[in-house]
């Protein structure tokens, strides 16, 4: 058990280092932030600013400096906001995490009961409707779903605000948009897992003992069918966190995703690096906790 956890920790550190290297490399070839910051300045002044920011050093030196500083939580100061980059990201992070959590709760709240019912009532009308929902949900891009919801609920019917954050009504459309992205996949996982277990011997034995159908499904069948759902839900949380970048841009939500998009346009390297690094830390940490939970729920992995 300890060895297995140690291996997961090593993989977590490797992933974080890899994400940092890729982010750093992409930003280095994206353009010159000094030219964007001082478009009218003489070349001598630009060269002095590059020297002050450390851009004249080799890429290896810059990456080593970035990695060492990031481990201490120091990503430098934003080129445009003139404040610590990590502080800007941490200020926006609660909004992004709240949006992601609401979307995940919505996706699970829809997919689990509908997936169970579709499996128990196989080939029924609800099952066919759920299949259509899966195909439609996985074929719609997040930005298109968000725009359609804005046109219907905000522009046409005027039931919800177009954009913003801070009230429950403003959070509805972004959460539904993001949750719609993951709900179909989770629904399909729940349905497939339930179909595998509802006809197994231990489920038939539970029915033969006279237990109610609801107790058989919830206590015996769903307990084992939930193992694949735990794994996929952990992966989907990371996808939702990344999808929040698009959703926040569409709905003008003041989260980390919108901050990173603006920083990319401005070539604000410290903010982009701090945002991507922190999001990567959250994603790999969630996947790490999912691995531990899966080990706890599945005794065969502990034995191996």
pLDDT in tens, 68-105: 888 788 888 898 888 999 999 999 999 999 999 999 99
**Most confident segment among 17-21, 148-152, 230-234, 261-265:** 148-152
Q: How many domains does the chain have?
A: 1
CATH code of the domain in which 109 resides: 1.10.3720.10
**Structural domain includes residue 111:** yes
Q: Is residue 101 part of a domain?
A: yes
pLDDT-based confidence at 301, cuts 50/70/90? low
Is residue 5 predicted with pLDDT exceeding 80? no
Residue 205 lies in a domain: yes
Is the pLDDT score of 154 beyond 60? yes
For 10-41, the pLDDT digits (tens) are: 888 888 788 878 878 877 777 778 877 777 78
Strand partners, 84: 77
pLDDT at residue 1, rounded to an integer: 63
State pTM to two decimals. Answer: 0.87
Structure tokens at 56: 């004249």
Asked if residue 23 is part of any domain, the answer here is no
Task: Please report whether residue 39 resides in a domain.
Answer: no
Query: Does 17 or 298 have the greater pLDDT score?
Result: 17
177 in a domain, yes or no? yes
Structural domain containing residue 99: 90-254
Any domain includes 84: no
Residue 302 clears pLDDT 60, i.e. is over it: no
Return the closest-CA partner of residue 54 out of 43, 63, 45.
63
* Mean pLDDT, the chain, whole residue set: 86
| Minimum mean pLDDT range among 3-7, 94-98, 188-192 | 3-7
Domain membership of residue 210 (yes or no) is yes
């Amino acid at each position: 058990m300890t060895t297995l956890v140690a291996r997961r920790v090593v993989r977590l550190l490797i992933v974080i280092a890899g994400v940092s290297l890729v982010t750093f490399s992409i930003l280095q070839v994206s353009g010159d932030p000094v030219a964007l910051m001082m478009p009218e300045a003489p070349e001598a002044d630009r060269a002095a600013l590059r020297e002050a920011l450390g851009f004249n050093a080799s890429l290896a030196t810059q990456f080593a400096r970035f990695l060492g500083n990031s481990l201490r939580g120091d990503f430098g100061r934003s080129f445009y906001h003139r404040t610590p980059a990590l502080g800007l990201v941490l200020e926006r992070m609660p909004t992004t995490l709240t949006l992601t959590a609401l979307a995940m709760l919505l996706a699970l709240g829809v997919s689990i009961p509908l997936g169970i019912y579709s499996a128990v009532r196989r080939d029924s009308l609800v099952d066919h409707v759920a299949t259509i929902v899966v195909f439609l949900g996985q074929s719609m891009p997040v930005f298109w779903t968000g725009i359609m919801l804005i046109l219907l609920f905000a522009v046409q019917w005027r039931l919800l605000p177009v954009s913003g954050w801070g009230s429950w009504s403003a959070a509805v459309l972004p959460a539904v948009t993001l949750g719609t992205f993951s709900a179909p996949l989770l629904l399909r996982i729940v349905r497939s897992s339930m179909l595998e277990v509802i006809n197994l011997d231990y489920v038939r034995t539970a029915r033969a003992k006279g237990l109610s159908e609801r107790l058989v499904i919830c206590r015996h069948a769903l307990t084992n069918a939930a193992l694949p759902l735990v794994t996929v839900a952990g992966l989907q949380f990371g996808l939702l966190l990344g999808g929040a970048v698009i959703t926040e841009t569409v709905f003008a939500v003041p989260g980390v995703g919108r901050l990173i998009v603006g920083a990319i346009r401005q070539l604000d390297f410290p903010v982009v690096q701090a945002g991507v690094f922190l999001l990567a830390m959250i994603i790999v940490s969630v996947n790490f906790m999912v691995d531990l939970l899966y080990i706890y729920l599945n005794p065969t992995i502990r034995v191996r």
